[in-house]
């Protein structure tokens, strides 16, 4: 099997498994306990926090461990907007882009539905880019938060985060970015990016599912969503997932160290793969930006097919990929991300996303490109047998 669905999830790296194992076995203490087992767990958690902080270029106290990307996004969008509104009741708007992951979009909609916020949705161009001037135009004195993703999970388009964040900063508004897909592939230094909050998910970069991080800058207020014993500086109560935090920190550190080399290598393979697919299926439509895209994502629409049928054929040929985001899989509705790019709903239904791990090889992608030609041909023949 050739696994080309890494944007959905990745296997746990051996190093992460080995690093977490002690905290699932002998060193099983609760980091809040005042005996030696608890202290060992607390030391491990502190080490994991420093490891993440090193990659992000921030202080350890600015790192909150969460149960994953979804929780990190919820805590950022709801937690920051509500904390700001509590301090200043006139703040009642949030800005998001039209292609956010549901973890951000639905958090903004919750603020609208339950707390009376207005949500300003920034459109994207045909390649999925948000305009910096467009952001400037929607900023209002009542804006509590801007949240724009670093890289999109369906089309791989990478936003100009530093420029967007500087617009928010000019208006004194905190800027959050969902870096779940970017982590491991793009630079994550929060000072260089100029962001006030940033979300990461462990299982996209070689740590287990159910581990995540939210960075929040300095004293930026975050209203907690989970109340209890006050762990994680009261930003996120609940006994910490020590093993998950250790694994995430290990995997993030490794992928960060490997990042410049792997990003360059995989970007070259991605471009070759895109060229091969466009050469063998000439009417294929590459979705997202041609160059400002994640090294790991190649996404297409194959007009005249059904994305789901192409996926089935590809799986028969030994290639596993996805029709878009794992969250939207199984839904008949065309992807809102593709519709936001201006792609017709019937074309959006034909989307297939190939996403790569950092260990993907040239041979695998050559085989996958040949499989794409065969799979698309088979689906088209089934749809119109007389066409041969």
CB crowding 292-324: b at 16 or more within 10 Å, else e: ebbbbbbbbbbbebbbbbbbebbeebebebbbb
Q: Does 73 bind ligand PLP (CB under 6 A)?
A: yes
Candidate residues 164, 180, 205, 351; the one interacting with ligand PLP per rule CB under 6 A? 180
Q: Judged by CB under 6 A, does residue 103 bind ligand PLP?
A: yes
Our CB check for ligand PLP shows the closer of 69 and 79 to be: 69
- Applying CB under 6 A, the span of 17-25, 68-76, 131-139, 299-307 interacting with ligand PLP comes to 68-76
> From CA 351, how far away is CA 155, in angstroms rounded?
10
Asked if residues 302 and 350 have their Cβ atoms less than 8 Å apart, the reply is yes
Distance CA 379, CA 237 (A): 50
**How are beta strands 319-320 and 2-3 bridged, if at all?**
parallel
Binding to ligand PLP by residue 122, rule CB under 6 A? no
Q: List beta partners, residue 5.
A: 355
**H or E element at residue 309:** helix 307-316
Least CB distance from residue 339 to ligand PLP, whole Å?
A: 17
Q: DSSP strand E in 107-187: where?
A: 118-122, 143-147, 175-178
68 binds ligand PLP (CB under 6 A): yes
Q: Report yes or no: 144 and 94 within 8 Å, Cβ to Cβ.
A: yes
Of 28-36, 67-75, 265-273, 277-285, the window that binds ligand PLP (rule: CB under 6 A) is 67-75
Distances (CA, A) of 98 to 45, 116, 230, 329, 381: 36, 20, 35, 19, 36
Compute the least distance from the CB of residue 309 to ligand PLP, in Å.
Answer: 23
- Give the number of other Cβ atoms within 10 Å of residue 221's Cβ: 14
Q: Is 70 in the site for ligand PLP (CB under 6 A)?
A: yes
Those residues with Cβ within 8 angstroms of residue 93's Cβ, 6 or more apart along the chain or in another chain: 117, 118, 119, 120, 140, 142, 143, 144
Q: What is the nearest approach in angstroms of ligand PLP to the Cβ of residue 151? A: 7
Q: Is 201 in the site for ligand PLP (CB under 6 A)?
A: yes
Tallying the residues shown for the chain, one arrives at: 388
For residue 153, state whether it binds ligand PLP (rule: CB under 6 A). Answer: yes
Residues touching ligand PLP: how many (CB under 6 A)? 16
Interaction mask 325-354, ligand PLP, x per CB under 6 A: xx----------------------------
Sign of the CA dihedral running 315, 319, 322, 323: negative
78 binds ligand PLP (CB under 6 A): no
Residue 105 touches ligand PLP, criterion: CB under 6 A? no
Nearer to ligand PLP, 293 or 378 (CB): 293
Rounded CA-CA distance 257/278 in Å is 33
Any contact of residue 357 with ligand PLP (CB under 6 A)? no
Task: Indicate which residue of 58, 301, 321, 327 is catalytic.
Answer: 327
Angle between helices 362-383 and 242-280 in degrees, nearest 10: 60
Active-site residue 327, yes or no?
Answer: yes
To ligand PLP, the closest distance from the beta carbon of 248 in angstroms equals: 10
Contact positions with ligand PLP (CB under 6 A) in 160-179: 178
Residue range at the interface with ligand PLP (CB under 6 A); choices 63-71, 91-99, 139-147, 373-381: 63-71
Q: How far is the CB of 348 from ligand PLP (least distance, A)?
A: 18
The CA distance from 80 to 338, in Å, is 29
Least distance in angstroms from the C-beta of 7 to ligand PLP:
6
Minimum distance of ligand PLP from residue 293's CB (angstroms): 14
Residues between 223 and 252 that touch ligand PLP (CB under 6 A): none
Q: Are 242 and 31 in contact (CB under 8 A)?
A: yes
DSSP 319: E
Residue nearest to ligand PLP (CB): 69
Q: Least distance from C-beta 50 to ligand PLP, angstroms?
A: 22
Q: Which two tokens stand for residue 255?
A: 């992928």
Residues designated catalytic: 327
Residues near ligand PLP, by CB under 6 A? 68-70, 73, 101, 103, 149, 153, 178, 180-181, 201, 203, 212, 325-326
């Amino acid at each position: 099997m050739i696994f080309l669905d890494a944007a959905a999830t990745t296997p746990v790296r051996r190093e992460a498994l080995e690093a977490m194992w002690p905290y699932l076995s002998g060193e099983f203490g609760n980091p809040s306990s005042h005996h030696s087992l608890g202290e060992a767990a607390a030391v491990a958690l502190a080490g994991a926090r420093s490891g993440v902080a090193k990659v992000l270029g921030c202080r350890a106290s600015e790192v909150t461990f969460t149960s994953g990307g979804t929780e990190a996004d919820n805590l950022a969008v709801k937690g920051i907007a509500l904390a700001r509104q509590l301090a200043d009741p006139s703040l009642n708007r949030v800005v998001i882009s039209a292609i956010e992951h549901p973890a951000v979009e639905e958090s903004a909609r919750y603020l609208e539905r339950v707390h009376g916020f207005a949500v300003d949705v920034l459109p994207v161009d045909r390649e999925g880019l948000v305009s910096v001037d467009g952001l400037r135009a929607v900023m209002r004195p009542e804006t509590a938060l801007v949240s724009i993703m670093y890289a999109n999970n369906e089309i791989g388009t990478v936003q100009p985060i530093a420029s967007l964040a500087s617009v928010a900063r000019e208006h004194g508004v905190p800027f959050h970015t969902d870096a779940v897909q970017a982590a491991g592939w793009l630079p994550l230094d929060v000072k260089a990016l100029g962001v006030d909050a940033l979300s990461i998910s462990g299982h996209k970069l070689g740590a287990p599912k159910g581990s995540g991080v939210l960075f929040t800058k300095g004293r930026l207020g975050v209203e907690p969503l989970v109340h209890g014993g006050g762990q994680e500086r009261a930003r996120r109560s609940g006994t910490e997932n020590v093993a998950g935090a250790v694994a995430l920190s290990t995997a993030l550190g490794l992928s960060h160290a490997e990042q410049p080399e792997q990003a360059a290598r995989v970007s070259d393979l991605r471009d070759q793969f895109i060229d091969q697919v466009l050469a063998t299926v000439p009417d294929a439509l590459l979705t997202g930006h041609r160059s400002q895209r994640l090294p790991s994502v190649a996404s297409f629409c194959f007009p005249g097919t059904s994305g789901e049928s192409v996926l089935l054929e590809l799986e028969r040929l030994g290639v596993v990929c996805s029709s878009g985001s794992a969250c939207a899989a199984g839904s008949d509705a065309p992807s809102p991300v593709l519709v936001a790019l201006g792609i017709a709903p019937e074309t959006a239904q034909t989307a297939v996303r190939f996403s790569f791990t950092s260990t993907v090889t040239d041979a695998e992608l050559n085989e996958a490109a040949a499989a794409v030609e065969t799979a698309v041909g088979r689906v088209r023949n089934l749809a119109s047998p007389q066409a041969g």
